[in-house]
Amino acid sequence: VQLQQSGPGLVKPSQTLSLTCGVSGDSVSSRSAAWAWIRQSPSRGLEWLGRTYYRSIWYHDYAESVASRIAINADTSKNQFSLQLNSVTPDDTAVYYCARDWLRWYFDYWGQGTLVTVSS
């Protein structure tokens, strides 16, 4: 399993952070996996942001801290999933990781990470 992240490294305040994670070696429609986004910063440490998973229909779980401005969606035609975080502030500056969330338990495969800086 490999996860390949893409997306811009610089976002202006109040705009939307958008990242994509391409999956190979597994399917985003897997009945055993969920697909998660996690970020890491010196001030927050490792912070789980949310996940999407397919169990006959698509489900989404989000961390309370970002629930009002986050969306994680899967694109089965491209076997990838995405993160959108709206209304960003400098506090959202972090390294963002995508990861496979096995059984919605632990993270066994990770993307390479993307440093996203929120600055004008």
Partner 1 sequence: IVLTQSPGTMSLSPGERATLTCRASQTLTRDYLAWYQQKPGQPPRLLIYGASNRAPGIPGRFIGSGSETDFTLTINRLEPEDFMMYYCQQYGSSQTFGQGTKVEIK
In angstroms, rounded to a whole number, what is the distance separating the alpha carbons of residues 69 and 6?
20
Q: Can you name the residues that pair with 85 across neighbouring β-strands?
A: 17, 70
Alpha-helical segments (H) within the chain: none
Nearest distance in Å: CB 14, partner 1: 28
Nearest distance in Å: CB 3, partner 1: 9
Q: Which is nearer to partner 1, 56 or 105 (CB)?
A: 105
Binding site for partner 1 (CB under 8 A): 45-48, 61, 63, 97, 99, 101, 104-108, 110-113
DSSP letter (8 states) at residue 32: S
Q: Which residue has the tokens 């993270």?
A: 107
In angstroms, rounded to a whole number, what is the distance separating the alpha carbons of residues 67 and 116?
19
Provide CB contacts within 8 A for 103, sequence distance 6+.
32, 33, 34
Nearest distance in Å: CB 80, partner 1: 17
Q: Which is nearer to partner 1, 91 or 108 (CB)?
A: 108
Nearest distance in Å: CB 7, partner 1: 16
In the three-class reduction of DSSP (H, G, I as helix; E, B as strand; rest coil), residue 104 is classed as coil
